[in-house]
């Protein structure tokens, strides 16, 4: 399946999205710059297949406003893979 970026680049209507940086300082800057609620969801390899995507199956966190909320949710998503 196509990624959100590929669909957007092809002109399909997709929800607004950001690709977050992996280092903590860049992530902090992105969260502070955006200024609207964010979502963090799990996306383990076992959640995404060639024919279907089940991203967020292990964990999803909605309406996150602060960097600390996003950081904690990301840690909880990583932990959910092992639960």
For residues 45 and 52, what is the distance between their CA atoms, to the nearest angstrom? 12
Q: Which residues lie closer than 8 Å to 45 by C-beta, 6 or more apart?
A: none
Kind of pairing between the strands at 60-64 and 38-41: antiparallel
Q: Which residues lie closer than 8 Å to 24 by C-beta, 6 or more apart?
A: 71
Specify whether the CB–CB gap between 70 and 64 falls below 8 A: yes
pLDDT of amino acid 20: 65
* pLDDT at 1 exceeding the cut of 60: no
Q: What is the pLDDT of residues 8-62, one digit of tens each?
A: 788 888 777 666 666 888 888 888 888 888 888 876 666 556 666 666 566 788 8
pLDDT of amino acid 52: 62
């Amino acid at each position: 399946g196509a990624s959100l970026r590929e669909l957007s680049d092809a002109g399909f209507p997709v929800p607004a999205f950001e690709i977050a940086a992996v280092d903590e300082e860049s992530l902090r800057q992105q969260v502070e710059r955006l200024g609207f609620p964010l979502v963090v969801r799990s996306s383990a390899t076992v959640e995404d297949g060639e024919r279907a995507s089940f991203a967020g199956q292990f964990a999803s966190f909605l309406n996150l406003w602060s960097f600390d909320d996003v950081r904690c949710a990301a840690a909880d998503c990583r932990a959910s893979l092992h639960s």
